[in-house]
Chains A and B, each alone.
Chain A
Amino acid sequence: QGPLVQSRAEVKKPGASVKVSCQISGYTFTNFDVYWVRQAIGQGLEWMGWMNPKSGNTGFAQKFQGRVTMTRNTSTMTAYMELSSLRFDDSAVYYCARGISISCGGSNCRGGWLDPWGQGTLVTV
């Protein structure tokens, strides 16, 4: 098991919700944002949003706003992503990942990469 361990595969009906968990170990949970990325069958990687485990602040891709919720439990060092009103095209592998903050100086910025990643959770609608 790696530093980010996700919950098991889920099968859901259209219109239902799914909640995927991501348990963190090996680093201080509240020091890094948690990102969620998905890969639909036959498609590429798609960023869904981020959550700051310390403050609970979140930011979502416009596509998912209103349908996605990201929460955390700091005592169990677990992040959660819940997607509601599921559609057939939400069938995908969902990944959590630790994100590195972006810092800018002058005309260049550093950071913004995702590492490590969870093993992925297959959600079938």
Chain B
Amino acid sequence: QSVLTQPPSVSGAPGQRVTISCTGSSSNLGAGYAVHWYQHLPGAAPKLLIFDNTNRPSGVPDRFSGSKSGSSASLAITGLQAGDEGVYYCQSYDTRLSGSWVFGGGTKLTVL
């Protein structure tokens, strides 16, 4: 059971828009800690997609966007492409257990 809750899977056709939710609690997102998103493609290392809720690192297309409100956050992907297929994780900091970095369980994105 992950501290941050994500849907196990989402899917969409090429060109469509999908969103992935990330639900936390008062000890992480609700406490004001930022959420970050990673893309994990098969055979590759996780790649930072969004940091500090809404910011894209250099090189990440603007098809990817993030938002956060209270204890919840979401990642939106527009103009879906076959190369977007993979697993997406949200991550934050949690104040319990003397402080720990926590991940969501991951959401498998399938491009139909």
**Which residue numbers of A lie inside 8 Å of B, CB to CB?**
35, 37, 44-47, 50, 59, 61-62, 95, 97, 99-100, 102, 104, 107-120
Contact = CB atoms under 8 A, between A and B. Distances in A.
Contact of A108 (B32, B48, B91): B32
Contacts of B2: 44
7 contacts: A37-B46, A59-B98, A59-B99, A102-B33, A108-B34, A109-B31, A110-B52
Contacts, number: 80
Given A47-B100, A62-B97, A109-B33, A115 B45 contact: no
B30 to A, nearest CB: 10
Interface string B28-61: 0001111010101000011110011000010000
B106 interface: yes
Given A117-B46, A118-B45, A45 B103 contact: yes
A45 B46 contact: yes
Contact of B92 (A107, A112, A118): A112
Contacts of A107: 32
Chain A interface SS verdict (over half): strand
Interface residues of B, number: 30
A45 B106 CA distance: 8
B87 to A, nearest CB: 8
B93 interface: yes
Contacts of B104: 44
A44 B89 contact: yes
A35 B93 CA distance: 13
A108 B32 CA distance: 4
A107 B70 CA distance: 11
